[in-house]
């Protein structure tokens, strides 16, 4: 099987690495890729949001499967264009991807599916939204309905702050189209866990759980980022618990979307809060997490009855029940992200990177590229999150130690990283 992967971040490097190890996959091509991906796949320069370019490349390659990594191509309707051209694609349609792109839509689907979530209200009138705050207690949660580059969620400790957040979205239009509607929610108390599964348009299958670290600083301080680290599995959730969550959450959501005439094919990523009343869904995402993918894909065994290529292909063709299950390494994996100076507010680029090969030489360590480039034959930073360093170990603690041991060998100017990734695993 020949697989085309769209994207060029750490998540896509991990995907290409895992697909390259899949017995069913003979060739992996990635667009646009990055210097690390180029070591495991054929990379092609391409605008992955240009559906005509993507379809043309898929046809030229005679790709058996296209896997969409980041959200931008999904929102641009690339998966729809590929399906229209008769190309098998693992990734939801633009309509189905509203599960991530519209918080109100996600809440409606969860209500129809009977999935536990925070009590909520949605509307597009500022006066009605301010009045609806009466139904909630502080801290108030005010969310722009659409994707707002991570800035559309406000947790307000006072009523006046909550009203200001409502006005910012609905009156001043600070978030543009994304803030034309708001969602008010009750605040959920408890640790967050990421649940990953795949769906084939009718059915869903849970794969694995992970926990990530969103804030830039240790002890969850500083601004939110795309993610500064992760680990998998989550000790508090054994295989049976992950399967049960899939049956209680992912399966009903896939069925509800099919019932609406919006079949969902691709990754179902549920952000859960483990409340005293049980797990509740905070949000859905339509792609593998980054850096969670770098923490759980290394745990995939290449010698099991199934492999990643077979699973994603079966989902793309609407035959998930016929795909053999994946086999997981019983070891844990921890991932530490190395970010450039100034991230997340700004980022530095063009700084030489040293020590990557030395880090990858550490036993049971892997290095995944994201914001890297090659200039005059030298590996340099390209801004944002630069590298993800993953370590495998018998326990989360051992995996964490290997990850940091390898990360210590990498240097570039202004490097940022957290020192507490996987230090206190949930249930560990």
Residue 75 above 90 pLDDT? no
Dihedrals phi, psi of 43, to nearest 5 degrees: -100, 145
- Domain-located, residue 74: yes
Domain limits at 74? 2-93
Please name the residue ranges forming H helices in 50-174.
Answer: 51-61, 71-75, 78-84, 98-101, 103-113, 126-132, 159-170
- Domain-located, residue 44: yes
Tokens standing for residue 200: 């084939």
Residue 133's alpha-carbon distances to 67, 136, 141, 156, in angstroms, are 41, 5, 10, 11
Give the domain CATH number at 33.
3.40.50.20
Q: For the chain, how many helices (H) and strands (E)?
A: 14, 22
Distance, in Å, from the CA atom of 254 to the CA atom of 203, rounded to the nearest integer, reads 6
Residue 149 above 80 pLDDT? no
Residues 233 and 298 in one domain: yes
Residue 302 above 90 pLDDT? no
Per the CB < 8 A criterion, the answer to whether 204 and 249 are in contact is: no
Q: Which helix (H) or strand (E) holds 179?
A: none
Distance, in Å, from the CA atom of 180 to the CA atom of 370, rounded to the nearest integer, reads 33
Distance, in Å, from the CA atom of 375 to the CA atom of 12, rounded to the nearest integer, reads 21
Q: Looking at the chain, how many residues does it have?
A: 428
pLDDT digits (tens, 9 = 90+) for 320-341: 999 999 999 999 999 999 999 9
- Domain-located, residue 327: no
Distance, in Å, from the CA atom of 300 to the CA atom of 311, rounded to the nearest integer, reads 12
Distance, in Å, from the CA atom of 95 to the CA atom of 109, rounded to the nearest integer, reads 13
**What pLDDT score does 259 carry?**
98
Find the mean pLDDT for residues 24-42. 98
Q: Which of 317, 311, 208, 199 is nearest to 257 (CA)?
A: 199
Residues 240 and 295 in one domain: yes
Residues 201 and 315 in one domain: yes
Last residue of a domain, one of 185, 200, 234: 185
Extended strands (E) in 261-384? 265-275, 278-285, 332-339, 349-352, 365-369, 372-375, 378-382
Per the CB < 8 A criterion, the answer to whether 216 and 331 are in contact is: no
Give the domain CATH number at 270.
3.30.470.20
* Residue 52: CB atoms within 10 Å: 11
Last residue of a domain, one of 185, 217, 235: 185
Residue 150 above 80 pLDDT? no
**What pLDDT score does 37 carry?**
99
To 10 degrees, what angle do helices 308-316 and 10-20 make? 110
* Chain mean pLDDT for the chain: 96
Last residue of a domain, one of 270, 295, 322: 322
Residue 421 above 90 pLDDT? yes
Residues 254 and 312 in one domain: yes
Q: Is pLDDT larger for residue 303 or for residue 110?
A: 110
Find the mean pLDDT for residues 356-381. 98
Contacts with 181 (C-beta within 8 Å, 6 or more apart), sequence order:
104, 122, 123, 124, 144, 145, 146
Residues 56 and 170 in one domain: no
Residue 283 above 90 pLDDT? yes
Distance, in Å, from the CA atom of 405 to the CA atom of 394, rounded to the nearest integer, reads 16
Residue 162 above 90 pLDDT? yes
* Residue 424: CB atoms within 10 Å: 9
Look at phi and psi of residue 114 and say left if phi exceeds 0, alpha if psi is from -120 to 50, else beta.
Answer: left
- Domain-located, residue 145: yes
Residues 196 and 305 in one domain: yes
Give the domain CATH number at 353.
3.90.600.10
- Count of domains for the chain: 4
Dihedrals phi, psi of 264, to nearest 5 degrees: -110, 120
- Domain-located, residue 148: yes
Residues 256 and 366 in one domain: no
**What pLDDT score does 306 carry?**
81
Q: Is pLDDT larger for residue 22 or for residue 428?
A: 22
Residues 314 and 398 in one domain: no
Distance, in Å, from the CA atom of 336 to the CA atom of 100, rounded to the nearest integer, reads 25
- Domain-located, residue 427: no
Find the mean pLDDT for residues 109-115. 98
pLDDT digits (tens, 9 = 90+) for 45-68: 999 999 999 999 999 999 999 999
pLDDT digits (tens, 9 = 90+) for 205-220: 999 999 999 999 999 9
Contacts with 219 (C-beta within 8 Å, 6 or more apart), sequence order:
420
Least confident of 1-10, 147-156, 207-216, 414-423: 147-156
- Domain-located, residue 419: no
Residues 26 and 55 in one domain: yes
Residues 317 and 301 in one domain: yes
Per the CB < 8 A criterion, the answer to whether 194 and 210 are in contact is: yes
- Domain-located, residue 282: yes
- Residues of the chain with pLDDT > 70: what percent? 100
Residues 241 and 348 in one domain: no
Confidence of residue 347 (pLDDT cuts 50, 70, 90): confident
Residues 167 and 224 in one domain: no
Give the domain CATH number at 151.
3.30.1490.20
Dihedrals phi, psi of 170, to nearest 5 degrees: -90, -25
Tokens standing for residue 264: 């969902």
């Amino acid at each position: 099987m020949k697989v085309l992967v769209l994207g060029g971040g750490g998540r896509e490097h991990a995907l290409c690495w895992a697909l390259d190890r899949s017995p069913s996959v003979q060739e992996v091509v990635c667009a646009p890729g990055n210097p690390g991906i180029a070591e495991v796949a054929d990379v092609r320069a391409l605008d992955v949001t240009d559906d005509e370019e993507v379809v043309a490349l898929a046809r030229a390659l005679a790709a058996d499967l296209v896997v969409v990594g980041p959200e931008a191509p999904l929102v641009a309707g690339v998966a729809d264009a590929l399906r229209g051209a008769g190309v098998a694609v693992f990734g939801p349609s633009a309509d189905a991807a509203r599960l991530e792109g519209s918080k109100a839509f996600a809440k409606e689907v969860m209500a129809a599916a009977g999935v536990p979530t925070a009590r909520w209200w949605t509307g597009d009138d500022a006066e009605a939204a301010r009045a609806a705050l009466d139904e909630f207690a502080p801290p108030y949660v005010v969310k722009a309905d659409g994707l707002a580059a991570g800035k559309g969620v406000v947790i307000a400790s006072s009523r006046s702050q909550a009203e200001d957040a409502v006005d910012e979205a609905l009156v001043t239009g600070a978030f543009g189209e994304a803030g034309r509607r708001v969602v008010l929610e009750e605040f959920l108390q408890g640790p967050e866990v990421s649940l990953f599964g795949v769906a084939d348009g009718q059915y869903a299958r849970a794969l694995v759980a992970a926990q990530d670290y969103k804030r830039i600083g240790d002890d969850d301080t500083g601004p939110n980022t795309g993610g500064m680290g992760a680990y998998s599995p989550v000790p508090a959730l054994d295989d049976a618990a992950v399967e049960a969550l899939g049956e209680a959450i992912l399966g009903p959501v896939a069925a509800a979307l099919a019932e609406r005439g919006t079949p969902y094919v691709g990754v179902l990523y549920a952000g859960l809060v483990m409340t005293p009343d049980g797990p509740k869904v905070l949000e859905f995402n339509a792609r593998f997490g980054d850096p969670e993918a770098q923490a759980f894909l290394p745990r995939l065994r290449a010698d099991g009855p199934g492999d990643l290529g077979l699973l994603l292909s079966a989902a793309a063709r609407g035959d998930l029940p016929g795909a053999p299950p994946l086999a997981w390494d019983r070891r844990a994996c921890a991932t530490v992200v190395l970010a450039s100076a100034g991230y997340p507010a700004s980022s530095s680029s063009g700084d030489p990177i040293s020590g990557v090969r030395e880090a990858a030489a550490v036993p049971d360590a892997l290095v995944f590229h994201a914001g890297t480039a090659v200039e005059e034959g030298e590996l340099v930073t390209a801004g944002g999150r630069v590298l993800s360093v993953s370590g495998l170990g018998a326990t989360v603690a051992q995996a964490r130690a290997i990850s940091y041991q390898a990360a210590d060998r990498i240097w570039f100017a202004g490097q940022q990283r957290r020192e507490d990734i996987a230090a206190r695993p949930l249930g560990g």
